[in-house]
Amino acid sequence: MAAPCMSCRGTVSCRLLLWKTAAAELQTNVRSQILGPSHTAAATRKKNVPALKHETYTVDFIKKQIEEFNIGKRHLANMMREDPESFTQEDIDKAIAYLFPSGLFEKEARPIMKHPELIFPKQRAIQWGEDGRPFHYLFYTGKQSYYSLMHDVYGIQRPDWLIKEELEEMLVEKLSDRDYMQFIHLLEKLLTLQYGAAEEEFVQRFRRSVIIQSKKQLIEPMQYDEQGMAFSKSEGKRKTAKAEAIVYEHGSGRIKVNGIDYLHYFPIMRDREQLMFPFHFVDRLGKLDMTCTVSGGGRLAQAGAVRLAMAKALCSFLTEDEVEWIRQAGLLTADPRVRERKKPGQEGARRKFTWKKR
């Protein structure tokens, strides 16, 4: 499928849009000319051995694509009556979605317009000179970047390392699982030793940026009712039970569930313990009042839902440290476990039918 020709006001070139699937077509159209530094002619024309086995692009081709992309971007900005200088990638996406609405289910098959570096895969330049001698001293290992990296790590540890795919992308080399795990092993060992600022920078390259989780926690705002008492509302759920809790700031520790005292609604001690858990953990057992409504689920699921709602509502009355404590105690996470479905060919979710020899 050739790239579609667009004639918008006659000023736009034919290659304004690049379909991602058509990129593959383009590769076959472009002759496999080898990427290389300044020398082109004799040696490379004789033996067209590409650096990689599959399609390659020339540096010139990529440059041309980038120029066309930039020009196209400006045209698009003019079309949409936006300022060409401050036309971001998001604006491009929105404009393309507006101009070419597509009903295709597969998101990757819809028309896109992105910077060529994101579309064409990164490739390695040719690794040897005119005389056939390779540039890197570890070329004959087959994975020169990887082994040189291993050398560096050995020469000089945490869970947020880059994953294998990202590392492959960074080194532009294919890695096996064993290689990757060995590398991570070394990095972890390195972490156990103390290192200075230079090593820190080196290690930083392989780490993903880490977010402080407690910042993500939404704290419910405090509201004030008619008597001037502060309260906060929140929701929680567990399995199929849904609960909504209102925690009042000054009270004597009364808890009402669906209008009934919790002693009568939850006659089992274990459920009541779950309700008291968040208050007890922050030492405010007899100081806060609570009202809640709950529906659905079973006995313990309702108790879990109320516990979650309570903990979330409680957050607005606590300091930041205390919020972090109850988060680490697991009170603010919604339990994702639900009943597993029964599968066909089995008696239950996991249990298989009795095996009969004949």
Partner 1 sequence: MAAPAVKVSRGWSGLALVVRRAVLQHPGLTQVRWSRYSAEFKDPLIDKEHYRKPVEKLTEEEKYDRELKKTQLIKAAPAANTSSVFEDPVVSKFTNMMMKGGNKILARSLMTQTLEAVKRKQFEKYHAASAEEQATIERNPYTIFHQALRNCEPMIGLVPILRGGRVYQVPISLPDRRRRFLAMKWMITECRENKHRRMLMPEKLSQELLEAFHNQGPVIKRKHDMHKMAEANRALAHYRWW
Contact positions vs partner 1 (CB under 8 A): 158-161, 163-164, 177-178, 180-181, 184-185, 210-214, 268-270, 273-274, 276-277, 280-281, 300, 303-304, 308, 324-325, 327-331, 333-338
Q: H helices within 266-345, ranges in order?
A: 269-281, 299-314, 320-328
Decide if 338 contacts 332 (C-beta within 8 A).
Answer: no
10 vs 336, beta carbon nearer partner 1: 336
User: With respect to partner 1, which residue has the nearer C-beta, 132 or 159?
Assistant: 159
Round to whole Å and give the CA distance between 126 and 35. Answer: 6
Task: Give the nearest distance from C-beta 276 to partner 1 in angstroms.
Answer: 7
Other Cβ atoms less than 10 A from the Cβ of 132: the count is 7
Shortest Å, Cβ 350 to partner 1:
10
Nearer to partner 1, 113 or 153 (CB): 153
Q: Which is nearer to partner 1, 337 or 356 (CB)?
A: 337
Of 29 and 194, the one with the shorter C-beta distance to partner 1 is 194
At position 93, the amino acid (one-letter code) is D
Residue with Cβ nearer partner 1 (42 or 210): 210
**What order of strands is seen across the sheet that includes strand 255-257?**
223-224, 230-238, 241-248, 289-295, 255-257, 260-261
Q: How far is the CB of 349 from partner 1 (least distance, A)?
A: 13
Least distance between partner 1 and beta carbon 124 (Å): 23
Contacts 24+ apart (CB under 8 A), 269-272: 270/300, 270/303, 271/299, 271/300, 271/302, 271/303
**H/E element, 178:** helix 177-192
Cα(278)–Cα(314) distance, rounded to whole angstroms? Answer: 8
- Distance of closest approach, residue 120 Cβ to partner 1, in angstroms: 25
Choose between 24 and 334: whose C-beta lies nearer to partner 1.
334
> Both tokens of residue 17?
């849009």
Q: How many CB atoms lie within 10 A of CB 258?
A: 13
Q: How far apart are CA 270 and CA 300, in angstroms?
A: 9
Q: Can you tell me the distance from the alpha carbon of 95 to that of 353, in angstroms, rounded to the nearest whole number?
A: 56
Closest distance of CB 142 from partner 1, Å? 19
**Amino acid found at 186:** L
Q: Pick between residue 287 and residue 327 the one whose CB is nearest to partner 1.
A: 327
Residue 74 C-beta: closest distance to partner 1, Å: 39
- The nearest distance, CB 119 to partner 1, in angstroms, is 23
Nearest-CA neighbor of 204 among 212, 216, 196?
196
